[in-house]
Structure 1
Amino acid sequence: MLRIAVVLSVLLSGAGLLLAQADAAKDEPDKPPHRKGTIVGVVTAKGDNWIEVKADGEEKARRYVPPWRGGTPAQGGGFDKEMLAQIRATPVGSRVRLEWEFDERPRVVKLEVLKKADSPHHSQGKSEATGLSPSGQRSGKVTGTIRSKKEQGKNVVIEVQAPGEEKPRAYFVQFDAKLQAPIPEVLAAVRAAPVGARVYLEWVATGHGPAIVHLEVLDSGQKKDKP
């Protein structure tokens, strides 16, 4: 009987330990996955310690702040001084490549100016600072590689991947209200551009996604046979 009692005591102790470990595991919050990425877009606004960038193909701009260095403000902590200086030196309307990491909020860890904002006196047709076309539609410019192309009714949809983007974005040809059809010259240019070609395109935002209003092939991406 004594041996049985000892065995039962050991089993009960082990079961209690397992239950305690299970409860402790439940109490531990799941650690969020480390999120980061790279975007290419236009600076739409900025402040002393933040910058807003509208990535190519996105409907809205997103705000980023510098990484935090040190402890609390009372302990001398604060935003990364080098990144603050970079933000202040980047004009609104500039085209940038931005690398970010999520730490409580999106934080810019690298900022590269690809093209500084044009002077308002030399801006033709579009406002780079606000990302608006003369008609008031959101707009943008993209240079990238065509990853796919498919016919969609009378229109054509292409997927273009800009440098630094993780995934390509879909674009279709803008609809001409007068002709009740896609803009003919743009449609012809899109159809003629092969998959793999490097292109420059201008787009406007619509209720169905970004629509192409201009497209140029910079490099067909096709190797020519040697004579």
Structure 2
Amino acid sequence: MRRFLVSLIMISAAPLHAAERTLHFSQPVGDLEAVTLEVGAGDVAVTGCDCNEITAQVTVTGKRWQLEDLDLEAQTTGKTLKLSLSPRKYSGKKAGEDWTLKLPRQLNLSVEAGVGDVRVRGMNGELEVQLGVGDVVITELVSNLVAETGVGDVEVRGSWTAVGRMRLNTGVGSVTVHTPEGKLSGHGIVSESLENKGPGKASISIATGVGDITLVLKEEL
């Protein structure tokens, strides 16, 4: 296991006695196959690119005294890179963190967040999103997806020809799927669920406790 601690490079005053600090991280993708991101409370935006470098930026807001102890930690185990704030005791409970990542699109990606919105665009590897409260938006999907949120809407747009099995479920809310073959809606009195199969091999599994699920699949992205 290799550990990298990236120093905070910017600090600025914010209203109501809060402070803001921004951290940057980058490294060549090398032989890495996956990236895992752990977030306490804050928004996440990930964009896939035809590139050979992993770049990340996180802007942290909170009390000045607590931000002085925070670092962006990058741990490599095998072929997986894990990004998070260190020490974790401040993340999410007393500090907000907004992440922006640019990743080689072939990487697998896992995001685990407490509160906030998660947006992922243009990633070709397998995707997994675990979110407590917040919305999930994924576009240009062509691979396996597992997305779960306690409270929040999930919207996914992707390739019809790439997707095979679909399993969607919400405790309270609606489930809607748009494909070249037409529109499908979930069923149920309180909870709604829907299972369908497309022409491809990628599987989609989406579940939310409270929220709407919308899946839009087209022939061309």
Q: Which protein has the bigger strand share? A: 2
Q: Same fold (TM over 0.5)?
A: no
Greater Rg by CA? 1
Report the TM-score when normalising by structure 2. 0.28
Report the TM-score when normalising by structure 1. 0.28
Higher relative contact order (CA 8 A, sep 6+): 2
